Structure 1
């Protein structure tokens, strides 16, 4: 049977599929580091990588607005065919990313001290994590520069280059870390240097790959207008809302882990394993969200409401397909997947009690992912912030309201409600967002 795919579907998949590959490769950087130090003979090495990796995940997560804000504004400028503004946005995003990174490097000691005050690692882990942190922090310019560059590429409807960058980083990280640890006799410092080298290799690759398809834009590379007051105000307004939204997201995510930990090792392990099912789903749905960012912004910039509406409709169709496939996949093979992650029978038995919550993740989360992409493309960041804030408040209210008699079930109820409320509120706000983008 031949399946005919519409041009719109092909547009979506051309952006979504490379983005999904990029998303899946992201956690490999951390897994590679853990796998290498896991054979060095001391659990303290694993603890150091875990603590250091968590710190950087939080730091870079918070500054993810550099990618999202750049993507939305670039896709709109691309839709308008405003090539000078497209180029100014690239310079603006990368420049601000580098500036923020320099601030992180300058403040690295108080940042590390504040983090260890909250985490309380053992002295041995603390010493090794400090070494790891003070090496990897020098990768901040590369990482935050790449955030701006990757957002710009997606805004330009090109998700293949970010995929090539992610693959390059992983290959370089494996080779560099293995050589430094096993050939040069280094330990945690070797893994940290391998990560650092991989980060700058990714930035170098991102810059080199820019030249061929976008070299013609060099004639627009002038700093005049990059720091124009009105443009900078809009840039920071968009990114301020995304930054605050990200803080809400981080608060919910960290609290979810903390609340599970407070209920004992078994519940913490169960929640961690079941959240891997959410993570897998999010990798795929983020790919479609990136397609939403690129295409919705493009058609808003081009003032093509019909194409915008058609794109949103097709994005939700793909989201529905993914929700059905993931729900069926988890129902049929979810337990087998959990058993691959652990052979602890106590944990897998306890996971059965909460497994049906994980089955509901795709259905409750689909709208939030799709609307996030569309709203970023529309630079409707205030609506995103309001939706996320309401969802976060609901999360904490439901958890504290039901935990006394539902226990860990209250945590999962609150999390699923948080996903659903995000999508429901964005659905309610979408009409105003569209009217504002295209005019009444």
Structure 2
């Protein structure tokens, strides 16, 4: 658990050094750059490690047979949705802890973080208790085939036992991010991925457990990650005299703070589900190209989300320290980083677009649809960069209620536009113009207006 630190220029964390008569703005920009890089780079590594869990499971289970791989795909989709709707456990905890850090009260920061961890444990236990007996019905409702269903049920039922650990990992990651520590989550993610890969090979092939071995390997790896996180948090709590006991009022407050972010996440999920449903209506070629485009888009999001995570931690810390101008300056600089990063990623996508199709499909029609959709993604990446950063800034400010209403407004605008695509004779390119162009532009407008209004700049240890 890191000690309360000072900035790279010996300025106390959360304060802004007074610029000199010459080069003041450049010095301030460099200071913000160092902060952003120090937090964003490890965060990016940890984010990339997450999908490697599923990639490893898919590679190992894929050699067992097509029914097993299909079952894994169904179970992983259900499990991922069930876990990631609770991502607010990380976001809300980061903002709350960072504010306390900025205010110089590490004991209260860790106490606040423990409330999030206890909430994660309660939610995880409840979800696992409900999902375990209902697994066959859930898999059946998802439309699994008779050959894939048994593998899906096996994998999902075993994996459900690891949901409490998965949610604890989310909350504990938020605690450390709020404490301005993104390196420890990176190390834990690397260790978890390595353990998962080794356990999968041992249990699936070495001991012959099949797809059940893959599920158990993931559960054990997730529990190990949760144990490491808890050890780090407990050590920090003892060092700073913070209580580890569950506090009903604190847990309730944490849950209330997370509700708006839950609404935001569900709205965003609805946008993506609508896009996939519309692509399916367009035809098999279109939905295949859409899935590849969505995969590329999601990968790009990991890079941009790393800056957003840095934004959550930095903005929360500045506001907790009462440094409103420092928060505004950091916001401006991070938006510049987001736009620049988006532009670079856009160029990379545009250059590689003609070759990406060959990696995923041998169908010329799919490649043609994919190329046009990827070019839309490339052009809109600077917009995505600004959106991700501003989203992170407002999360760091604890502006969850506004984010919830804004995302609901985006859903209201996007849904009719997406459903109009096939009705008006549009194709996949038009759908992605609605998703990456219209939807992200509306998000940018709502977030930019909020950022310019200054209503998010609420200082103090608690919003």
Q: TM-score range by the shorter chain?
A: over 0.9
Conservation of the 8 A alpha-carbon contact between 1:242 and 1:381: yes
Conservation of the 8 A alpha-carbon contact between 1:80 and 1:301: yes
Name 1:227's counterpart in structure 2.
248
Call closer, same or farther: CA 1:433–1:111 in 2, change over 3 Å.
Answer: farther
Name 1:206's counterpart in structure 2.
229
Aligned length: 432
Shift of residue 423, structure 1, vs aligned partner: 1.6
Conservation of the 8 A alpha-carbon contact between 1:399 and 1:414: yes
TM alignment of 1:59-208, pairs within 5 A = 59-109=82-132, 111-113=134-136, 115-208=138-231
Name 2:315's counterpart in structure 1.
296
3-state SS of paired residue (1:347): helix
Conservation of the 8 A alpha-carbon contact between 2:119 and 2:251: no
How large is the RMSD of aligned CA atoms in angstroms?
A: 2.1
Report the more deviating stretch, 353-362 or 296-305: 353-362
TM-score (ref. length: structure 2): 0.88
Equivalent position to 1:318, from 337, 343, 350:
337
* Structure 1 segments unaligned to the other structure (5+ residues): none
Name 2:10's counterpart in structure 1.
none
3-state SS of paired residue (2:63): coil
Report the more deviating stretch, 103-112 or 270-279: 103-112
The answer as to 2:446 corresponding to 1:422 is no
Call closer, same or farther: CA 1:68–1:111 in 2, change over 3 Å.
Answer: farther
Equivalent position to 1:245, from 251, 259, 264:
264
Deviations 1:337-373, CA, capped at 9 Å, x for gaps? 3322333333212323433222223123122201111
Equivalent position to 1:18, from 42, 59, 71:
42
Task: Determine which structure has the larger helix proportion and give its number.
Answer: 1
Distance 1:180 1:120 in 2: 28
Distance 2:360 2:333 in 1: 35
Name 1:277's counterpart in structure 2.
296
Conservation of the 8 A alpha-carbon contact between 1:161 and 1:209: no
Shift of residue 430, structure 1, vs aligned partner: 2.0
Report the more deviating stretch, 375-384 or 251-260: 251-260
The answer as to 2:349 corresponding to 1:330 is yes
Call closer, same or farther: CA 1:293–1:53 in 2, change over 3 Å.
Answer: same
Call closer, same or farther: CA 1:186–1:234 in 2, change over 3 Å.
Answer: closer
Call closer, same or farther: CA 1:141–1:109 in 2, change over 3 Å.
Answer: closer
TM alignment of 1:395-434, pairs within 5 A = 395-405=414-424, 406-416=426-436, 417-434=438-455
